[in-house]
């Protein structure tokens, strides 16, 4: 379980990474969230690194939507 402070950081990172997504791209946002959480669960705590993880998901061209 993450602390409330770290959970807030994760939410902020997710919102920043997904800021340019359309509202109907919930599948992509969920995938980004999953990868950020996966990285955090492995011990990553640096916000910039977590942002990079999320951005990499978007750059990979994953064609999930809605």
pLDDT in tens, 29-43: 999 999 999 999 999
Query: How many domains, the chain?
Result: 1
Residue 61 has pLDDT above 90, yes or no: no
Around Cβ 40, how many Cβ atoms within 10 Å? 19
Q: Is residue 14 part of a domain?
A: yes
- Rounded Cα distance between 57 and 55, Å, is 5
Percent of the chain with pLDDT over 70: 91
| pLDDT computed for residue 1 by the predictor | 84
Let me know the angle formed at the C-alpha of 10 by 7 and 12, rounded to the nearest 5 degrees. 110
Supply the pTM of this predicted model.
Answer: 0.88
Q: Is residue 32 part of a domain?
A: yes
Q: Is residue 66 part of a domain?
A: no
Residue appearing with tokens 């994760």: 10
Q: Is residue 65 part of a domain?
A: no
Residue 55 has pLDDT above 50, yes or no: yes
> Could you give the count of Cα atoms lying within 13 Å of 33 in the half-sphere of its Cβ?
12
Instruction: Provide the domain limits for residue 22.
Output: 4-59
């Amino acid at each position: 379980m993450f602390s409330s402070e770290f959970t807030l950081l994760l939410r902020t990172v997710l919102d920043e990474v997904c800021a340019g997504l359309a509202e109907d791209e919930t599948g992509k946002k969920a995938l980004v969230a999953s990868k950020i959480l996966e990285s955090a669960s492995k011990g990553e705590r640096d916000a910039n690194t977590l942002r990079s993880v999320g951005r990499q998901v978007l750059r990979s061209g994953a064609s999930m939507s809605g």
